[in-house]
Amino acid sequence: KGRIGSTTAAGAPYGFVHAGGVHMATISAFRSYPNKWGTPRDPLLLRFDHNGKVLSTRWLAQTDKSSERPLLAKYGQEFLVAWDNSDPKSRDRTVVPQAILSVVDKNGKPVTAPRQTTAPMDYLSALTVFPNGDVGWAQVSYKSSTIEVVRVRR
């Protein structure tokens, strides 16, 4: 229902959270149009009301690499946003990018700046919330056929 107007030219939604009357979504979006294959995308956070009206938008990062699949999960009283910066021109999926994490409050305002980690995260990752409020994901190694569970503690 909601429209984000001219804030972005195109984007793909990946994360959605509804908690305590707060609705937020994350998209991987182009900053301009027209764009072409290989153009970097950046993570955009949207806040909206129960009718779908967009209340605010906030770019979480701006880089020369693509911010792939910015995911979103409830993280205590705040929200964790996780994404990876990968080379938009690379099709080599055997190189697993590392996660970038940021925490935002219920108004979409950053509580922490985006922080590069060494935790693997790729386009197939999905966030889950543990019973104690930690957030994590499972990551498969394409080289060793193993699985790693990554956990971000509160």
Name the pLDDT band for 6 (thresholds 50, 70, 90): very low
Name the pLDDT band for 153 (thresholds 50, 70, 90): very high
Listed range (12-16, 63-67, 89-93, 145-149) with the worst mean pLDDT: 89-93
Look at the block and give the residue holding tokens 């955009």: 44
Give the pLDDT of residue 88.
57
Mean pLDDT for 95-117 is 91
